[in-house]
Amino acid sequence: MNEQAIQKTKTGALHRMIRTDEFGVLIPLIGIVVVTTALRPAFLSVGNFSSMFTQLTFIALTALGASFPLMVGQVDISTGKVAGFAGIIMSSLVVDKGMGMGPAILIALLSCLLVGVLNGFLVVYMKIPDFVATMGTLYMVGGARYLFVKGYQFSLSTQEDCTLVEIFDGRYLGMPIYFWIMVIIFAVVFVIIKKTLWGRRLLAVGDNREVAILAGIHADRMRMEAYIISALLSAVAGLLLTLDVGVGLPETGDGWEFRAIAGCVVGGVSLAGGKGSPLGVLIGVTLVFVAENAIIFLGCPATMKVAVQGFLMAAAVLCDLYRQKRKIAA
């Protein structure tokens, strides 16, 4: 009898795992890897996957940030430009002003935090549509990057205080240090979203704001916090990339916002809010990257990558709409 109960428990756990959005994203991911490897065996090489995951790190952190507004039913399309803004502020303060690396990083993070506050204020309290408000911030921050640069490149490797740049040249278990930083951040956020009261309240606001307010949840504050976290995680991504390459470049972050949102939607974060998982975001971003990499390995034109992103995002949106209709029907 005990063995039967154990077997039923295992079977139930397996069924629950199969029904998760994360498992659904894994199927096409595995399919792309298998098909591309069959046609081009070098695709599965350690060097290729190491290179791919190295590039994925920064977009994944930006996508994790973008997932917070999505989970409360909003959108933030300024994340990529915020990432570049953080890198430029930090590198310009170190190179142009002679500031230490630590204070420069802190000022860059605080500056991006203010961008998040601005986004939240415009959307939550000024009632400006989220797409319009964050598009305005996108152009504002994107232009500010070039004002800081003034036509120069800020090379961190030429500075006396370049300890962090040297540290980021190291590897652990074959992967760069910043990859493991990304893993730690994702693990912490996963615990926060899945295991804490704050995480449950965040999803509750996205699921049904009116009901959440009646339950005593400060919905506007949660939405503000979502935008602030989005900006901060994007800033971390930009800072990590700048420390990795050792140069502050104004074009850092260009195009990240839409790849980040694509990764979120593909990973099961609902555009309507109330649904999302850091693990799903990571798998979704990985699927987008693997699909793009497969296009290159199969010898297709590089412009096909944009088409692949669009197809994956459209498919994910259709699946999300289907789930919403089923939820309403139930």
DSSP states along 30-80: HHHHHHHHHH-GGGG-HHHHHHHHHHHHHHHHHHHHHHHHHHTT-----HH
% residues pLDDT > 70 (the chain): 83
192 vs 95: which has the higher pLDDT: 192
pLDDT grade for 50, boundaries at 50, 70 and 90: confident
* pTM for the whole structure: 0.87
Tokens of 110: 């605080």
- The DSSP 8-state label assigned to residue 160 in this structure reads S
Q: What is the pLDDT of residue 38?
A: 86
Confidence class of residue 305 from pLDDT cuts 50, 70 and 90?
A: confident
Q: What is the arithmetic mean of pLDDT over 58-71?
A: 94
Q: Is the separation of the CB atoms in 79 and 234 below 8 Å? A: yes
Q: How confident is the model at residue 308 (pLDDT cuts 50, 70, 90)?
A: confident
Grade residue 142 by pLDDT with cuts at 50, 70 and 90.
confident
Interacting residues of 294 by C-beta distance below 8 A, sequence separation 6+: 32, 33, 35, 36, 43
Assign 13 a pLDDT band (cuts: 50, 70, 90): very low
Q: Decide if pLDDT at 3 tops 60.
A: no
Distances from the Cα of 113 to the Cαs of 143, 146, 195, 206, 264, in angstroms? Answer: 18, 19, 25, 22, 21
pLDDT cut 90: percent of the chain above it: 35
pLDDT band at 274 (very low <50, low <70, confident <90, very high): confident
Look-up of token digits 């190179």: 95
Q: Is the pLDDT of residue 170 over 90?
A: no
Numbers of helices and strands, H then E, in the chain: 14, 4
Weakest-pLDDT range from 191-195, 227-231, 325-329: 325-329
Tens-digit pLDDT profile for residues 19-44: 566 666 778 888 888 888 888 888 87
Report d(CA 30, CA 33) in Å as an integer: 5
Q: Using alpha carbons, select from 276, 271, 259, 253 the residue that is nearest to residue 312.
A: 259
Average pLDDT in the chain: 82
Q: Could you say which DSSP state residue 9 is in? A: H
| pLDDT for the residue 128 | 94
Least confident range of 82-96, 130-144, 184-198, 246-260: 246-260
Give CA–CA dist 219/213, Å, rounded: 6
